Structure 1
Amino acid sequence: MVSYIDQETDQFRASSAARTSASRLSMSRASPMPLTPGVSKETESYVSPPAPSFSRLLAMNAPEWKQALIGSISALVYGSLQPIYALTIGGMIAAFFVQDHNEMNAIISRYALIFCSLSLVSIAVNLLQHYNFAYMGEHLVRRIRVQVLEKILTFEAAWFDEDTNSSGSLCSRLSDESSLVKTLVADRISLLLQTACGIVIAVTMGLIVAWKLALVMIAVQPCTMICYYAKKIVLSNVSRDLAKAQYESTQIAIEAVYNHRMVTSFGCSSKILQLFEHTQEEPLRKARKKSWVAGITTGLSPCLTFLSWALDFWYGGKLAQSGEISAGDVFKTFFVLVSTGKLIADAGSMTSDLAKGSNAVASVFEVLDRKSISPQNSQ
C-alpha cells in the first residue's frame, strides 16, 4: 500500500510538472515575458538590447524646449532651497545665544519670515517643475508610441512569429514600456539639476561661513553618503531576493491546492508537506545571510554618521573656543553640509531605479532601430 501511494505521488508530481511547464509555455507565447527563464532556446540565447542614450531622448523631446527650460529653472531654484533652509535652521539656533532679548526677537522674526517665504517659493517652483516636466513626458510618450506603431506595421510577417514579438509583448511595449520614457526624462533632469545646484550652493555657503570646519566636514562627508546609500540599497535588495527564493515553494503550494482532490484521495498530504519544507531550506539559509548583511549595514550607517558628527562638533568647538568662528557659524555650517550629504545619498539611491527604467525601454528603441526586410510606407 505504501509503495502504491509513493508511485501515485510520483505520478502526481510528474503530471503537475508537465502541466506547469505546458501552461508556462502557453502563457509565455501570450505574455510579454515568460514566467521562468529557459523555456526555449530562443529565450536563452536572447540578448537584451542596449539602453537608449539620454541625448537621444532629449533630441526626441526637442519640440518642448520651452517647457524644458521652465522646468529646469524651477528644478534649480528648488535645489537651492534645501541649503538655504538648512542655513536658516542654523541661524535660528544661533539666535538663542544672543544676550539682548529685543535683538533675539528681531532675529527670530526675520528667520520666521524667511521660513514662510521658503514655503511659498517651494510650492510655486514645484508646481512649475512637475507641470512642465509632465508636459514634456506626455508628448514624448505620444511621439514614441506613434513611431513604434508605424514601424511595426512595416515589418515582415515572419517577425511576428517570434515568441518575443507576440501580441501581448507588442502591446506591452506600446503601453507600459513606452510610458517609462516619461520618468527617464523628467526624473533624470530634475534629479541632476536639483542635486548639482544643491551641492554647489551648500559647499559655497559652508566655505564662506567657516571654511576650516567646512573642509573637515567635506572630507568626512563621503562616509555619511555611503552609509545612507548602502542602507537604502541593501534593504531594498533583501526583500527582492527573498521573494525570488520563495518562488519554488510557492509553486509547490499552488500545485497542491490546485490538485487538492488528488492529494486527499491518495493521502499524499504528508509527502507534499515534506517537499514544501525541503524547498524552504534554501530560502531560510539565504534569509539568515541577508539578515546579517542588512543588520550590519543598518547598524554601521548610523554608527559612522554619529562618529562624523562627533568629529564635526568637536572641531567646531575647538574653532569656537579659539575665537575663529562663533557658535552660530558652527551650527550653520553643520546643518548646511549634513543636509547636502543626505540629498546626495537620496539621489544616488534613485539612480538604480532610473537604470532599471532605462533597460526596460530598450526594447522599444530596438523596434525603432530595426530595419524591415520589406518596408512599406504607411498611408
Structure 2
Amino acid sequence: MAAFTLRLPSGRNAGWLSLFSFTTGKHAPTLIGGVVLALVASLPTPAFSILLGQIFNEFTLFGGQEITNHDLIRTTTKYCVRLAVLGAISWICNGCYYVLFVIFGELQVANARTELFDGLLKRDQEWFETQQDGTRVYLSSLQGHIDDLQKATSQAFGLAVQYFFRAIVSLILAFYTSWNLSLVTLAGMPVLSAIISFLSSKMNASFEAQKVELAKSSKIVDSATTSIDAVKSFNGQLIEHRSFVASIDKAAVCYLRRARFTSLQIAFLRMMSFGMFIQGFWYGSSLATSGQLSAGEVLRTFWACLAAAQSFEFIMPQAAVMKKGKIASLALRNALSDRADGKAPGLLDGAICPDVCHGDIEVKNLSFSYSSQPDRLSLNSTSFFFPAGETTFVIGKSGSGKSTLGQLLARFYMPTSGEILIDGHPIQTLSTNWIRKNVTLIEQRSVLFNESVFMNIAFGSRDHSRLRKPDIQGCIDLARLEGTIQAMPEGMETCVGPGGNFLSGGQRQRVAIARARLRDTPILIMDEPTSALDGTNRVETMKAIREWRRGKTTIIITHEMSQILDRDFAYILEHGSVVHAGYRHELEE
C-alpha cells in the first residue's frame, strides 16, 4: 500500500464552494440567518451616506441664508435621531450575525472532526505505519487545517459577507445618485483589481511552502520528544535545536513573503482610497458649480463610493483567511475521499458473517512484505494448519516472521500472495467486524489506554459501560493481578498513564491477558504474552491460560521451548519459512 500524504491543493484548484465541504442541511438555518442579518447590518452605512448628504444640504442652505438657525437645528436634530436609530440597529444586527457565523464555524469543524476521526479509525494498520512524517505530524497537520477552516467559516466569512453587501449597496446608491461622478471616483478600480489578483496568485506558493516547512519542524519536535532519552544520552540537544531553528526560519521566510504580498494589497487599496478623494472632490466640485448636482448629492455619492472602497479594503484580510480555509477544507476532504476506508484498491471488506466460529485456521503458501521494505519477504510461501480447539505454538528468533503471522491472522494486513482460511472461508471474504469479534491478538508490547486499570480490562467487553468490578474479578485472578492492584494507591481505579507507562512491562502484559480473558473469543493469538514476567508468574499464568483455553483455538507465538508440553504441536520459523513442524518430542529428536 502506498503511503498516503495530506495533499495541499493550490488556491486556484480550490473553489470557494470547498469552504462548505462539511456543511449539511442542518447547518442551513444558521447560515441563512447569519447571511440575512449580515445584509441588514450592511444597510446602515449606505443609509448614513444618505443622511449625511441631507445634513450637508441643510448646512449649504443655511450658509446661503435660505433657512433660519431654528430650522437648521430642528432638521439636523431629526437626522441625528435617525442616525442614532441606525446605530442601534447596526449594533444589534452586527452582534447577532457575528454570533450566528461563529456557531456556523463551530458546526463545520465539529462535523470535520467527526468525519476525520471516523475515517482514521477505519484505516488499516499499515496505513499508519507508512506515514512518511509519522502519525503525530499528520494529526498535527489535520488540526492545523481544522483551525484554518474554523477561522475561515466563522468570523472571516461573516465579516466578508457583511462587507460585500455593504460594498454592493453603496455602489448601487452611488450610481443611482450620480453615475458619472461614481465612474470618475472609482476609475482606478479595474487596475487595482488586476494588481490584487496578481498578488493573490503569488501568495499561494508561499502559503504551501510554509505548510511544508511547518510539517518538517513538527516532525523534528515529535522525533526529539519521543526519543528524548536518546537525545540527552548522546548530547544531541544542540543538533535537534539547530535542525528545528533551520526549518522554522524557512517557514518564517515563506510567511514574510506572503505578508509582503498582503501588505502590498492593502497599500494599493489605501492608495486608491486617497486617489478617490482627489478625483471625487475635483469632479464633484465642477458638477456642483455647474448646477448638475447639489452639494449634498456630491457628498452622498462620494461617501457611498468611499464606503464601497473601504468595504473592499476590509474584505482583503478576510479573503486571505478564507483562502487558507478553502485550501484547508479541500485538503481535509481529500484526506477522507482518497481512501475513505483505509484500504488499498481491491481490498474490499468481506460480507460473510458465519453464525458460529469453530476456530479452524489454514494458511496456504503465505507470502508477505511490508510496504516500507517491499523487496524483503517477512513470510515466504509458508503454510500452517491450526486445528480448532487446540493450542499450537509458533517458535522463532527475532525477525523470523512469527509476529507478522499473528498480525496477518488478525487481518491487520493482507497477504502479498497465498491465502488464509478461517473455517474454510478466505479471510478477505469475511467481514472485518466478524473477524474482530472472533479473533483476539495479544502483542508483546501490550497497548493500554490512559485510563484506570478497571477500564483497561473492561474495554475487552463491547458493553464495558455496564460492567462492575465483580464482573472482571475472574479475569484479574487468571492474570494474577490481585496483588498488583492491592498495592496501587487507588486500587482498580488507579490510572495507568499514557500507554500504560506507570506500570511495568509484566504488569502491562497481565492487564492485556485479563482483557483478553474478558473478551474470550473463539480464536486467541498470543505474541510473547509472558515475556516480561518472572519465572514463577510465567509458569502459573501459562497454566491458567491453558485451563481457560481448553477446547478453544489458541496460537502462542514465542521464542522459548520451555513453555511447550509434549502434547503441543509447534512450528519453527526461520527467515520467514517453516523449517520444522511437529510435537515437542519430535522436534527434540
Alignment-derived partner of residue 331 in structure 1: 299
Which of 95, 115, 120 does residue 83 from structure 2 map onto? 115
1:72 aligns with 2:35: yes
Is the CA contact 1:93–1:328 (under 8 Å) kept in the aligned structure 2?
Answer: yes
Give the aligned length: 295
1:183 aligns with 2:133: no
- Shift of the 133–325 alpha-carbon distance from structure 1 to 2, 3 Å rule, reads same
1:62 aligns with 2:22: no
Alpha-carbon distance in structure 2 between the residues aligned to 1:296 and 1:311: 22
Which of 196, 201, 214 does residue 182 from structure 2 map onto? 214
Alignment-derived partner of residue 316 in structure 2: 348
Report the 3-state secondary structure (helix = DSSP H, G, I; strand = E; otherwise coil) of the residue aligned with 2:187.
helix
Is the CA contact 2:273–2:310 (under 8 Å) kept in the aligned structure 1?
Answer: no
Deviation per CA, 1:80-109, whole angstroms, max 9, x where unpaired? 222222333343333322222222112211
- Shift of the 58–90 alpha-carbon distance from structure 1 to 2, 3 Å rule, reads farther
Which of 339, 350, 358 does residue 326 from structure 2 map onto? 358
Aligned residues: percent identity?
19
Report the 3-state secondary structure (helix = DSSP H, G, I; strand = E; otherwise coil) of the residue aligned with 1:219.
coil
- Shift of the 359–348 alpha-carbon distance from structure 1 to 2, 3 Å rule, reads same
Alignment-derived partner of residue 137 in structure 1: 105
Alignment-derived partner of residue 28 in structure 1: none
Matched ranges for 1:293-304 at <5 A: none
- Shift of the 156–338 alpha-carbon distance from structure 1 to 2, 3 Å rule, reads same
Is the CA contact 1:225–1:345 (under 8 Å) kept in the aligned structure 2?
Answer: no
Higher strand share: 2
Q: Following TM superposition, by how much is the alpha carbon of 1:193 offset from its aligned partner in structure 2, in angstroms?
A: 3.3
Deviation per CA, 1:4-25, whole angstroms, max 9, x where unpaired? xxxxxxxxxxxxxxxxxxxxxx
1:315 aligns with 2:275: no
Report the 3-state secondary structure (helix = DSSP H, G, I; strand = E; otherwise coil) of the residue aligned with 1:97.
helix
Is the CA contact 1:152–1:367 (under 8 Å) kept in the aligned structure 2?
Answer: no
Query: Aligned partner of 2:8: which letter?
Result: S
Alignment-derived partner of residue 253 in structure 1: none
1:103 aligns with 2:58: no
Alpha-carbon distance in structure 1 between the residues aligned to 2:127 and 2:282: 68
Deviation per CA, 1:218-250, whole angstroms, max 9, x where unpaired? 3344467789x69x98xx99xx9xx9xxxxxxx
Q: Following TM superposition, by how much is the alpha carbon of 1:136 offset from its aligned partner in structure 2, in angstroms?
A: 2.1
Alignment-derived partner of residue 238 in structure 2: none
Is the CA contact 1:72–1:189 (under 8 Å) kept in the aligned structure 2?
Answer: no
Alpha-carbon distance in structure 2 between the residues aligned to 1:63 and 1:136: 10
Alpha-carbon distance in structure 1 between the residues aligned to 2:55 and 2:306: 17
Q: Following TM superposition, by how much is the alpha carbon of 1:199 offset from its aligned partner in structure 2, in angstroms?
A: 2.9
Alpha-carbon distance in structure 1 between the residues aligned to 2:38 and 2:287: 36
- Shift of the 223–326 alpha-carbon distance from structure 1 to 2, 3 Å rule, reads farther
- Unaligned 5+ segments in structure 2 are 211-234, 236-251, 350-431, 437-461, 463-589
Report the 3-state secondary structure (helix = DSSP H, G, I; strand = E; otherwise coil) of the residue aligned with 1:163.
coil
Alignment-derived partner of residue 46 in structure 2: 83
Q: Following TM superposition, by how much is the alpha carbon of 1:155 offset from its aligned partner in structure 2, in angstroms?
A: 0.8
- Shift of the 161–363 alpha-carbon distance from structure 1 to 2, 3 Å rule, reads farther
- Shift of the 52–172 alpha-carbon distance from structure 1 to 2, 3 Å rule, reads farther
- Shift of the 354–103 alpha-carbon distance from structure 1 to 2, 3 Å rule, reads same
Is the CA contact 1:206–1:214 (under 8 Å) kept in the aligned structure 2?
Answer: yes
1:48 aligns with 2:8: yes
- Shift of the 47–152 alpha-carbon distance from structure 1 to 2, 3 Å rule, reads closer
Report the 3-state secondary structure (helix = DSSP H, G, I; strand = E; otherwise coil) of the residue aligned with 2:293.
coil
Q: Following TM superposition, by how much is the alpha carbon of 1:56 offset from its aligned partner in structure 2, in angstroms?
A: 7.1
Query: Aligned partner of 1:180: which letter?
Result: D
Deviation per CA, 1:329-357, whole angstroms, max 9, x where unpaired? 11111111111111112213432221123
Q: Which of these two proteins has the greater Rg computed from alpha carbons?
A: 2
Alpha-carbon distance in structure 1 between the residues aligned to 2:177 and 2:83: 20
Q: Following TM superposition, by how much is the alpha carbon of 1:317 offset from its aligned partner in structure 2, in angstroms?
A: 1.3
- Shift of the 222–66 alpha-carbon distance from structure 1 to 2, 3 Å rule, reads same
Alpha-carbon distance in structure 1 between the residues aligned to 2:143 and 2:285: 58
Deviation per CA, 1:350-377, whole angstroms, max 9, x where unpaired? 3222112322344422221124326556
Supply the RMSD in Å over aligned alpha carbons: 4.5
Matched ranges for 1:31-46 at <5 A: none
Query: Aligned partner of 1:60: which letter?
Result: T
Query: Aligned partner of 2:32: which letter?
Result: L
For structure 1, which segment, 94-103 or 162-171, has the greater mean C-alpha deviation from structure 2 after superposition?
A: 162-171
Higher relative contact order (CA 8 A, sep 6+): 1
- Shift of the 138–215 alpha-carbon distance from structure 1 to 2, 3 Å rule, reads same
Higher helix share: 1
Is the CA contact 2:106–2:154 (under 8 Å) kept in the aligned structure 1?
Answer: no
Deviation per CA, 1:9-60, whole angstroms, max 9, x where unpaired? xxxxxxxxxxxxxxxxxxxxxxxxxxxxxxxxx89x9853565762672663
Question: TM-score normalized by structure 2?
Answer: 0.42
- Unaligned 5+ segments in structure 1 are 1-41, 244-261, 263-282
